[in-house]
């Protein structure tokens, strides 16, 4: 398959935080991708998973982030 590229954007890596709350994301390897307020965040996990596209829920309470996988 081929197609037209609509835009190219630079991702500037920098350490940041997310507010306390619950977020949905996609897990692959050691990274969970989360979108919040039109921005993408990459969360690094302690343990990895083989494959990509695993749905997870990220919980942040008092600045501590944990995640739980959802049955795919």
pLDDT in the model for residue 19: 94
* pLDDT at residue 4 in the model: 78
**pLDDT given at position 28:** 94
H/E segment holding residue 64: strand 64-69
Determine the pLDDT at residue 72.
64
Which residues, including other chains, have CB under 8 Å from residue 8's CB and lie 6 or more apart? none
How far apart, in whole angstroms, are the C-alpha atoms of residue 61 and residue 66?
A: 9
Q: Tell me the pTM.
A: 0.80
Question: From the first residue on, what is the mean pLDDT of each consecutive set of 10 residues in the chain (72 residues)?
Answer: 72 86 94 91 91 94 92 72
User: What is residue 2's predicted lDDT score, i.e. its pLDDT?
Assistant: 62
Q: What is the pLDDT of residue 71?
A: 79
């Amino acid at each position: 398959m081929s197609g037209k590229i609509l835009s190219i954007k630079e991702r500037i890596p920098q350490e940041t935080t997310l507010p306390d709350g619950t977020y949905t994301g996609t897990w692959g390897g050691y990274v969970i991708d989360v979108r919040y307020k039109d921005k993408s965040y990459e969360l690094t996990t302690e343990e990895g998973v083989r494959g990509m596209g695993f749905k997870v829920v990220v919980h942040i309470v008092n600045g501590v982030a944990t995640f739980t996988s959802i049955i795919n």
